Amino acid sequence: MPEKDLKVKLLSSTQNALSLIYAACRQCYSAEFAGDIFEKAKEDPEKMTKFITKIVSSGHESPLEHVKFTFAVEGVSRALTHQLVRHRLASYSQQSQRYVKEDNFSFIIPPTIKKDPEALKEYEDVLSRIQQGYNRLLQLLQEKGIVGEKANQDARFVLPQGAETKIVVTMNVRELMHFFSLRCCSRAQWEIKALADNMLAICKKELPAVFSNAGAKCEALKYCPEGEKFTCGRYPVKKVTS
């Protein structure tokens, strides 16, 4: 039962992303064929970068939907993926606890528990008992001739939210911007924030014209929309006038 660390890898992204966004956006305002705009745009990447940066800052986001990124993610908990799949404008392929036996499942340890020796021991003891119970259930089912996914799908009911899982995530750029605006915020749950921060770092490297100023809402707004009660203090809170 090993602890597992977060790992994020970019599997794929749309080719010629800058040209594609540029052509899609220009098509909205041009009588010219987007195919011709696309080919000519490749000749001047600096022009495209300036134009797209301006478009993103203006809030014209629909052209961003034509470009997508696909990530492989491991070392995250089932608690995280329950949050992640609420972002519905995305595609997900997650490791199945029905087809993958969890007879030695990996797990995630929350930081508050990890830094407290007494809490950590209790956490690990609970996980150990769950593992023993899961394996015992598989054994009992096997004795009755129930094996494979038929046994796994029922024994998995005792597994914890802290059990490690793996998932493939595909989002278009517009949805990624929305995802980062929510999950990079300091108020986001720590684990999904760590995932979002890792994904954002990759996106900034791959497509800086779009993602250079992406992140929590306050990055674009230059004020905190969370109010006095919840602000982290990074940006001033917008004053509401009556």
CA angle 193, 196, 198 (to 5 degrees): 110
With 70 as the cut, is the pLDDT of residue 242 above it?
Answer: no
Annotated catalytic residue 183:
yes
**Rounded-to-integer distance, Cα 214 and Cα 212, Å:** 6
Q: What's this model's pTM, rounded to 2 decimal places?
A: 0.93
Set 78, 156, 174, 183: catalytic member: 183
Instruction: Give me the count of residues in the chain.
Output: 242
User: Is the CB of residue 19 less than 8 Å from the CB of residue 48?
Assistant: yes
Domain boundaries, the chain: 7-93+164-221, 98-158
User: Is the CB of residue 173 less than 8 Å from the CB of residue 207?
Assistant: yes
Judged by average pLDDT, the poorest of 9-23, 41-55, 81-95 is: 41-55
**Rounded-to-integer distance, Cα 225 and Cα 239, Å:** 10
CATH code that applies to domain 7-93+164-221: 3.30.1360.170
Give tens-digit pLDDT for 72-95: 999 999 999 999 999 999 999 999
3-state helix, strand, coil in the chain (%, to 5): 50, 15, 35
